[in-house]
Amino acid sequence: MRAPLRTILSLAIALPAATVAMMTTASAAEEPAPTTVLTNDFEDGTTQGWTGRAAERVTHTTTVAHGGTGSLAVTGRTASWQGPSLDVRAEFVQGTSYTISVWVRLAEGSDNARLSVERRTGGVASYDQVVGDTAVDSGRWVNLTGRYTLATDVESLRLYVETSSTTGDLFIDDVAASYVPVLPIQTDIPSLKDVVDEFPVGAAITGAEILTEHGQLLGKHFASVTPGNALKWDATEPAEGAFSYAQADPLVNFAKAHGMAVRGHTLVWHNQTPAWVFTGADGEPMTATAGDKALLLGRLENHIREVAAHYGTTIGVWDVVNEVVDENQTDGLRRSTWYTVAGLDYIRTAFRVAREAAPHAKLFINDYNTNVPAKRDKLYALVAQLKAEGVPIDGVGHQMHVNVSWPTVAETRAMLDKFLPLDVEQQITEMDVSIYTGEGESFPAPPADRLLQQAYMYRDMVALFRQYEGEITSVTLWGLADDNTWLDTFPVTRKDAPLLFDTRLQAKPAYWGVVDPSRIGATTGSPTPTGGAPATTACSVTYRITGSWQGGFQADVRVTNTGTTAWTSWSLGWQFGAGQQIAQLWNGSAAQSGTAVTVANAAWNGSVAPGASASFGFLGSWTGTNPAPASFSLSGTACAAA
């Protein structure tokens, strides 16, 4: 199954119907049905092109099946990385984002399974994870679903499933890959970089975002680029002395060709740093010895000199160190391996060497939660100390990973004001605004009122930053559009929508909040109207099949209150026309009797203000055809299908 979609909190704010209507006109385009490029149901008695990755055996079987009677069995595995593998080079086009779904089951016991792509270029293999470790066992089929975009030229491209530790037999079934075509970018809207010109506005990008429509969107709106992962240590020096710029160079070259600035992120971090960096000459993990410290600082110096020299003046800003502050330590320093082996000297060395290797560049210390007073003050103290020592720090980077209701503008202003006396530049380096306010929430699609709250947040924060012209020298968003955001898997797996453009690259209310706030209304919401069960049938229903594979499908259903009275509960009914069965439903509770289905609200989404909607989703099974229900009823009376 997909990662379970979790609880939704009732919304603190409900929006006036007129405001929601205005917002909807500026809102995301509805997703069309996906185009399927690959299906394997293993119903024809063959392995349908799947092979092993080594000497394991891959055979057709009828021992178990997810849909129908056949599946694929993998036996004789001698390593956990061995598993079923399929050539997808002909199916996967560079720059297109595919949703890939595989059902997995073990023959015995339990383990984690993951889904990845192996790509080879110039004879060198790289491994891209599509779905991370997911619990699987012998008692049920588990669905692995993730997205993958090929960003490079390849000689071979293979999809595969592996486990994390055991080598027992496994089965897969009902494999599908599909994509939703992106829309052309909107060329008739203002360019963000023209509207906000107090500082360069940038986006963090990964490999495929310089291609096709993504590249056009990037070039139209942004004046700066941050490679989101490509300049990190694991990408640039995966093995000692083996420097690689294969991931970063295309991004930096794109920026150069379009006259964009480049933020270099990041020279030193505790994450995405290969294990060899912290392994001593004796092959053991480094400890706080003089020998290990000298070796570590030597590696640090070599790394910075090489990477900085490769880019020369093309990179005008470096995040020299990233996330080194821990406000819970008395000295404010994160207990990373960098710190435990080298103490504060790793930071001093990093800045000194970066200044020598890139004398033109502005050197930054970058961190998250810098609006939180305890963190902010520890960062301030560290920068003040280092500057007093003569360490060449030019700027403080505020990541600004925030959400629709946190933090306040006042707290953010206090963050900026705090650093003014230090005479450093300040940059907003990784801004995104999650639609979620807690880990327990999950929405199948971004609710209109969250998108509006998000628009207000972007409007207010960017307006604040613009007041600091001269102090703030760059504002970067951590992503280009909602189709590719790290928040889809952090802190839990769920679809987030934290950026200015939606999954189909169209401008969201958040974009208008920055570019033309008059388009999103002037209010920040009003109290939730109260009321009883729906007094009239003023409602509409949108029923969308969002994924379909042999025997199974996923659907999202949204019910909208089109009347003038708020609902405090609801119950939606329909008849399935072709024998479909609901298997698992989230954000509501379902009862099915024959063809008749009734879905009642969950505890957290019964309240629906006029103009607002509640959504739920489900996984179902089908055979033959899978038509959408012809009619719906809400709490017993007819409700229009939109």
Binding region for ligand 9MR (CB under 6 A)? 228-229, 271-272, 322, 368, 399, 430, 486
DSSP 8-state secondary structure symbol assigned to residue 189: S
Residue 266 Cα distances to 24, 332, 596, angstroms:
39, 20, 56
Q: Provide the minimum distance between the beta carbon of 54 and ligand 9MR in the complex, in angstroms, as a whole number.
A: 28
Contact 422, 384 (CB under 8 A): yes
How distant, in Å, are the alpha carbons of 3, 399, 486, 495, 621 from that of 492?
Answer: 9, 20, 11, 9, 26
- SS3 call for 275: helix
Distance, CA of 540 to CA of 41 (rounded, Å): 36
> Residue 460 has which token pair?
């207010």
The one-letter code for the residue type at 176 is: A
Residue nearest to ligand 9MR (CB): 486
Helix (H) or strand (E) holding 249: helix 248-257
Helix or strand or coil: residue 501?
Answer: strand
Tell me the two tokens of residue 28.
Answer: 């995301």
Cβ closer to ligand 9MR: 399 or 571? 399
- Closest approach of Cβ 226 to ligand 9MR, in Å? 9
Tell me if 623 sits within 8 A of 522, measured CB to CB.
no
For residue 138, the one-letter residue type is S
Q: Rounded to whole angstroms, how far apart are CA atoms 385 and 352?
A: 15
CB of 262 to ligand 9MR, least distance (A): 15
3-class DSSP state of 389: helix
Q: How far is the CB of 399 from ligand 9MR (least distance, A)?
A: 5
Interatomic CA distance for residues 558 and 615, integer angstroms: 4
**How many alpha carbons lie under 13 Å from residue 384 in its C-beta half-sphere?**
13
The pair of three-digit structure tokens given for residue 228, joined into one six-digit string: 């989101």
Rounded to the nearest 10°, the torsion over CA 232, 416, 368, 402 is -120
Nearest to 136 by CA among 158, 104, 164: 104
CB of 248 to ligand 9MR, least distance (A): 13
Q: How many CA atoms lie within 13 A of 543 on its CB side?
A: 20
Pairing of strands 201-205, 472-477: parallel
Query: Closest distance between ligand 9MR and the C-beta of residue 350, in Å?
Result: 16
Specify the residue, 175 or 203, whose C-beta has the smaller distance to ligand 9MR. 203
Residue 430 beta carbon to ligand 9MR: minimum distance, rounded to whole angstroms = 5
Nearer to ligand 9MR, 255 or 487 (CB): 487
Q: Report the alpha-carbon angle 35-37-39, nearest 5.
A: 115
* Residue 300 or 612 with smaller CB distance to ligand 9MR: 300
**Residues with a known catalytic role:** 323, 367, 430
